[in-house]
């Protein structure tokens, strides 16, 4: 595969997945796959610039309204656009409208960049994923069509068996942990044509399931710390990203 060594700038668009939420660093910040990818690209290119416009909780309409125009105006070489999953995981969703909005975002940023990257988002194993699988598959099939129209790359994380492993997910069961983000960064790296550093979809060692008591303790903690607040936001119409600015709103040199 041909190596692309000339990306000098990178803009990431999306929601919490691209913002990089995980178990967190000691200082309370997050370092997700987009940050890891930017660091690797910066190591190859002096003066490399990076912006991350993603904000947790954003729906695809908000990504279009708040991120697509700024991203297009930046004129970065590389743009990643990941969105729509927050929409299809809601009780009521017009998947056709989600696809139309995603197409609007792609149509706005694709002409301004050298390479657009889209993704089939990963999904954790379990009954929640199965319930929404038809919607997700409809969205991901459209993403493939969208990529053909715009010459975009598609990184298929949904088909990954390793990323479906619960051990790749943070305690909130909604976001990848540090190892999950490391693997996504490698998957995008390879999709861009760079030499592989490791097999990003290699399965984890055999899993020894915790005992009943440990599982119930984990479930209670999850419900108290993550599920109940999430339900509260849904009932009141709030989002975890309300009032929160992008983590890197400007296309500036990346120092790691």
Residue 144 domain-assigned?
yes
Burial 36-47 (b: 16+ CB within 10 A, else e): bbbbbbbeebee
Tokens of 56: 């947790």
**Same-domain status, 225 and 123:** no
Looking at the structure, tell me whether residues 119 and 65 fall in a common domain.
yes
What's the number of domains the chain is made of? 2
DSSP assignment of 12-33 equals: EE-SHHHHT-SS--TTS----H
Same domain for 149 and 226, yes or no, is no
Give the start-end residues of each E strand in the chain: 9-13, 49-52, 78-81, 115-120, 153-156, 248-253
53-73 pLDDT, tens digit per residue, is 999 989 999 999 999 999 999
Note whether 64 and 154 are same-domain residues: yes
| Cβ neighbours for 105, distance < 8 A, ≥ 6 positions apart | 13, 60, 63, 64, 67, 68, 81, 83
Q: Which residue would you say has higher pLDDT here, 250 or 128?
A: 250
Mark whether 131 and 150 lie in a shared domain: yes
In this model, does residue 35 exceed pLDDT 70? yes
Q: By residue range, what is the domain housing residue 28? A: 9-204
Q: Is the separation of the CB atoms in 69 and 113 below 8 Å?
A: no
Collapsing DSSP to helix, strand or coil, 75 comes out as coil
- 144 and 233 fall within a common domain: no
Question: pTM of this prediction?
Answer: 0.86
13 and 110 in contact (C-beta within 8 Å)?
no
Give the pLDDT confidence score for residue 129 in this predicted structure: 64
Read off the CATH number of the domain in which 30 is found: 3.40.50.1110
Instruction: Give the tens place of pLDDT for each residue, 142-178.
Output: 999 999 999 999 999 999 999 999 899 887 768 899 9
Contacts for 229 with CB less than 8 Å, ≥ 6 apart:
none
> Which two three-digit tokens encode residue 253?
């040199």
Say if 111 falls within a structural domain. Answer: yes
Please check whether residues 77 and 118 belong to one and the same domain. Answer: yes
Same domain, 170 and 231: no
The 153-156 sheet, strands edge to edge = 153-156, 115-120, 78-81, 9-13, 49-52, 248-253
Q: Give the pLDDT band of residue 94 (cuts 50, 70, 90).
A: very high
Same domain as 44, residue 61: yes
Residue 250 lies in a domain: no
pLDDT tens, position by position, 194-235: 999 999 999 998 776 667 676 566 555 655 554 556 556 555
């Amino acid at each position: 595969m041909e190596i692309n060594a000339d990306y000098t700038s990178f803009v990431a668009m999306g929601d919490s997945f691209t913002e990089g939420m995980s178990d967190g660093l000691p200082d309370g910040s997050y370092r997700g796959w987009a940050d890891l990818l930017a660091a690797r690209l910066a190591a190859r290119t002096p003066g490399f610039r990076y912006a991350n416009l993603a904000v947790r909780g954003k729906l695809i309409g908000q990504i279009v309204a708040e991120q697509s125009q700024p991203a297009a105006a930046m004129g970065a070489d590389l743009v990643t656009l990941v969105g729509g999953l927050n929409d299809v995981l809601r009780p009521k969703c017009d998947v056709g409208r989600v696809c139309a909005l995603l197409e609007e975002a792609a149509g706005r940023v694709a002409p301004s960049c050298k390479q657009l990257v889209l993704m089939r988002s990963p999904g954790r194993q379990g009954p929640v994923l199965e319930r929404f699988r038809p919607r997700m598959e409809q969205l991901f099939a459209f993403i493939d069509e969208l990529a053909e129209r715009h010459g975009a790359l598609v990184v298929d994380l949904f088909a990954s068996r390793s990323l479906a492993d619960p051990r790749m997910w943070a305690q909130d069961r909604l976001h990848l942990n540090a190892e999950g983000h490391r693997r996504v960064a490698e998957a995008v790296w390879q999709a861009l044509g760079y030499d592989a550093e490791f097999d990003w979809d290699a399965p984890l060692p055999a899993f020894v399931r915790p005992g009943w008591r440990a599982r119930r303790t984990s479930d209670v903690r999850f419900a108290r710390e993550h599920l109940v607040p999430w339900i509260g936001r849904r009932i009141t119409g709030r989002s975890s990203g309300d009032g929160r600015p992008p983590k890197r709103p400007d296309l500036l040199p990346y120092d790691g």
